[in-house]
Amino acid sequence: MTNTQTPLIDMEDISIAFGGIRAVDGASIDLFPGEVVALLGHNGAGKSTLIKILSGAYKRDNGTIKVNGEEAAINNPRDAKAYGIETIYQTLALADNVDTAANLYLGRELMTPWGTLDDVAMEHSAREVMGRLNPRFQRFKDPVKALSGGQRQSVAIARAILFNARILIMDEPTAALGPQETAQVGELIKQLKSEGIGIFLISHDIHDVFHLADRVAVMKNGQVVGTAKVGDVNEDEVLGMIILGKCPPGAIPGPGAVN
């Protein structure tokens, strides 16, 4: 990884406030093709908020977002998707009462030449993509509320990778999963990474992500404490960043670092 490359995503000096509380305060973060960046921090550190700005769910007060070096106007989720930014939300954001195919294509339905929904074609690709992620999955006719936690998670992941994402945001992707499914997600992340997709991995648990990430970025109180290549710091040092906001020598300090 050379930093002379143009970053896939470059968020600079992002701020957002909710009723006087600065949830994100001058945060900058970047992501290169084929790279996994783990965004770490306590609950309420501002990592989900920062990432929701990138995915278009929140509108930032300040700062710029560049995609492939060019400034991008991201004002709603549709804009973000147009830039190839796909998000797997912590809450999964599935419409519980409709089936898997309808969820995969929500907002981007396949249509017949007569302008009606092409349910059969959607079910077809749903079976294909789900077959890759979760070969034992068969319940294509049931509403997703009837599915197990792991199955719902695979639906959310399938939705994100179905549309040739270039940037994938995963917010606590393994929170609802058992060990075997967590390993599967790990495999998937490696595979997507080898395809050149950039991935933001958000977690409050460092052990979940440390072995998957190339770099870590730590947030505290809405500010970036620092970023570091995984090889330059150890887990204890990263824990120190998360808990105390103390930047170790191997990391590049950010505005939130404590001296």
Q: Determine the size of the site formed for other proteins (CB under 8 A).
A: 37
Among 27, 94, 170, 202, binds other proteins (CB under 8 A): 94
> Residue 89 interacts with other proteins (CB under 8 A)?
yes
User: Which of 24, 12, 26 has its CA nearest to residue 69?
Assistant: 12
> Residue 19 interacts with other proteins (CB under 8 A)?
no
87: which strand partners? 169
- Four-residue CA torsion sign, 182, 188, 190, 193: negative
> Residue 77 interacts with other proteins (CB under 8 A)?
yes
Q: Is 186 helix (H, G, I), strand (E, B) or coil?
A: helix
> Residue 76 interacts with other proteins (CB under 8 A)?
yes
Among 8, 65, 67, 102, binds other proteins (CB under 8 A): 102
Interface with other proteins by CB under 8 A: which range of 18-26, 89-97, 195-203, 207-215?
89-97
> Residue 62 interacts with other proteins (CB under 8 A)?
no
For residues 20 and 107, which CB has a smaller minimum distance to other proteins in the complex? Answer: 107
User: Which of 90, 95, 67, 99 has its CA nearest to residue 198?
Assistant: 67
Among 3, 116, 164, 180, binds other proteins (CB under 8 A): 116
| Centroid of chain to Cα 83 | 14
SS (H, E, C) 47-110: HHHHHHHHCCCCCCCEEEEEECCEECCCCCHHHHHHCCEEEECCCCCCCCCCEHHHHHCCCCCC
> Residue 81 interacts with other proteins (CB under 8 A)?
yes
For residues 32 and 89, which CB has a smaller minimum distance to other proteins in the complex? Answer: 89
Q: Is 138 helix (H, G, I), strand (E, B) or coil?
A: coil
Among 93, 162, 176, 252, binds other proteins (CB under 8 A): 93
Q: Is 19 helix (H, G, I), strand (E, B) or coil?
A: coil
Tally of CB atoms within 10 A around 121: 15
> Residue 55 interacts with other proteins (CB under 8 A)?
yes
> Residue 111 interacts with other proteins (CB under 8 A)?
yes
Among 62, 138, 148, 234, binds other proteins (CB under 8 A): 138
Q: Is 148 helix (H, G, I), strand (E, B) or coil?
A: coil
> Residue 107 interacts with other proteins (CB under 8 A)?
yes
> Nearest distance from residue 120's CB to other proteins, in Å?
4
Interface with other proteins by CB under 8 A: which range of 13-21, 98-106, 176-184, 210-218?
98-106
H-assigned helices in the chain:
47-54, 77-82, 100-104, 119-133, 149-161, 179-194, 206-209, 235-244
For residues 96 and 236, which CB has a smaller minimum distance to other proteins in the complex? Answer: 96
**Residues at the contact surface with other proteins, assessed by CB under 8 A:** 55-57, 76-78, 81, 87, 89, 91-98, 102, 106-109, 111, 115-117, 120-121, 123-124, 127-128, 131, 138, 143, 145-146
